[in-house]
């Protein structure tokens, strides 16, 4: 990933440049590059990367909450759990961003489609891979946590999301729904802005990881922080009960927030005629400010 961004190779287009995944991979042995077999192999690698990345997000983020948040004397607490979620995304952005774009989140995939950054036809396979990775990660976490004497999933849970009685702070449904929409909106805005062609190069994973950390610091007390339907689905399927009953909200709210964010970012990034003229004038002014242009006329004349 040359720019360490989630998915940034711009394709010239109108008026907002469309983007595609910046993928660097070698063709399968015996397959002609660009042929059907090579394309299938490329897609399978992208989906495998999304599977592994989302597994890591659940194992690292939810695992820190389940295994380390309240560990006697050295518990990492809310700040540590928030940082753990941010670090899982940051590390995977460097690890697999150049392969799949490192979405790790159905809401992110939907938001990128809305922003014109990702093909709608590729969204469903990505989402399936993300959900399967989250479920496998949740089962792995359960197998580890249940090895502790006296550990009870009904008491400890798996960092599942919830509202009302299932909310860490007992926040009502309305508060939880608004929180998830707003937090996901800003999460996508951070992703889309930091991976823009005009953004500073190489800082996207850091901005996104810190953004997710901040989102968790804000919203763990409200819903245990989802902003990611796959992250919610994995623990809910293992825990069952109220977590599974309330799961629908953690699909609907994040996707609404992500799609709105994608559309807003597309509007913010669209250059109108005046924007183009202003940019051209600024570039012309910059060129006229070069040392050669500023030198006295006598200094520029040949002797």
pTM: 0.79
8 found inside a domain:
no
For residue range 98-153, list pLDDT tens digits in order.
Answer: 999 999 999 999 999 999 999 999 999 999 999 999 999 999 999 999 999 988 99
Residue in 229, 190, 196 with CA at minimum distance from that of residue 209: 190
Q: Could you tell me if residue 155 is inside a domain?
A: yes
Is 50 inside any structural domain?
A: yes
Separation CA 97–CA 191 (nearest Å): 13
In a domain, 28, yes or no: no
- In Å, how far are 33, 48, 79, 129 from 122, measured between CA atoms? 20, 14, 35, 11
pLDDT tens for 10-37 read 444 444 444 433 333 333 333 455 566 6
* Residue 92 located in a structural domain: yes
Q: Strand pairing partners for 18?
A: 11
Is the confidence at residue 299, as pLDDT, over 90?
no
Domain of 250, CATH number, reads 1.20.1080.10
For residue 13, being part of any structural domain is answered with: no
The boundaries of the domain holding residue 86 are 33-287
* Of residues 197 and 7, more confidently modeled: 197
Instruction: Look up tokens 């009870």; give the residue.
Output: 152
pLDDT digits (tens, 9 = 90+) for 167-195: 999 999 999 999 999 999 999 999 999 99
210 inside domain: yes
Query: For the chain, what is the mean pLDDT?
Result: 85
Check if the beta carbon of residue 209 is closer than 8 Å to that of residue 93.
yes
Q: How far apart are CA 242 and CA 151, in angstroms?
A: 19
Nearby residues of 214 by Cβ (< 8 Å), 6 or more positions away:
82
φ/ψ region of 225 (left if φ > 0, alpha if ψ in -120 to 50, else beta) reads: left
Check residue 11 and report its DSSP letter. Answer: E
Number of helices (H), then strands (E), belonging to the chain: the values are 14, 2
Residue 79 lies in a domain: yes
Q: By the 8 A CB rule, do 213 and 190 touch?
A: no
Q: CB–CB of 65/81 below 8 Å?
A: yes
What is the C-alpha separation between 194 and 108, in angstroms, rounded? 14
Question: If you ran DSSP here, which 8-state letter would residue 17 be given?
Answer: P
Extract the tokens encoding 298. 């006598």
Query: Domain tally for the chain?
Result: 1
Could you identify the residue written with the tokens 């093909």? 119
Q: What is the pLDDT of residue 284?
A: 74
Structure tokens at 2: 């040359």
């Amino acid at each position: 990933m040359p720019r360490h961004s989630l998915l940034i190779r711009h394709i010239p287009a109108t008026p907002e440049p469309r983007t595609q995944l910046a993928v660097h991979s070698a063709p399968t042995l015996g397959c002609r590059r660009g042929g059907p077999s090579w394309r299938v192999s490329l897609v399978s690698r992208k989906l495998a990367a999304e599977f592994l990345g989302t597994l890591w997000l659940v194992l690292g983020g939810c695992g820190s909450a389940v295994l380390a948040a309240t560990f006697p004397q050295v518990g990492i607490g809310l700040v540590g759990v928030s940082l753990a979620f941010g670090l899982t995304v940051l590390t995977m952005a460097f690890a697999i961003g150049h392969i799949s774009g490192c979405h790790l989140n159905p809401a992110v995939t939907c938001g990128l489609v809305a922003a014109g950054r990702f093909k709608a036809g590729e969204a469903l396979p990505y989402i399936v891979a993300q959900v399967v990775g989250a479920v496998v990660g949740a089962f792995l976490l359960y197998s580890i946590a249940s090895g502790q004497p006296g550990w009870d999933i009904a008491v400890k849970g798996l960092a599942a999301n919830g509202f009302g009685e299932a909310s860490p702070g007992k926040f009502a449904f309305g508060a939880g729904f608004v929180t998830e929409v707003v937090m996901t909106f800003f999460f996508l805005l951070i992703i889309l802005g930091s991976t823009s062609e005009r953004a500073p190069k190489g800082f996207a994973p850091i901005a996104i990881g810190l953004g997710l950390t901040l989102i968790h610091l804000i919203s763990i007390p409200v819903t245990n922080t989802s902003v990611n339907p796959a992250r919610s689905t994995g623990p809910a399927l293992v825990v069952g009960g109220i977590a599974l009953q309330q799961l629908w909200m953690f699909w609907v709210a994040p996707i609404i927030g992500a799609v709105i964010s994608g559309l807003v970012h597309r509007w913010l990034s669209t250059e109108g005629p005046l924007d183009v003229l202003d940019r051209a004038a600024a570039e012309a002014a910059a060129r006229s400010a070069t040392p050669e242009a500023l030198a006295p006329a006598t200094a520029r004349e040949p002797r």
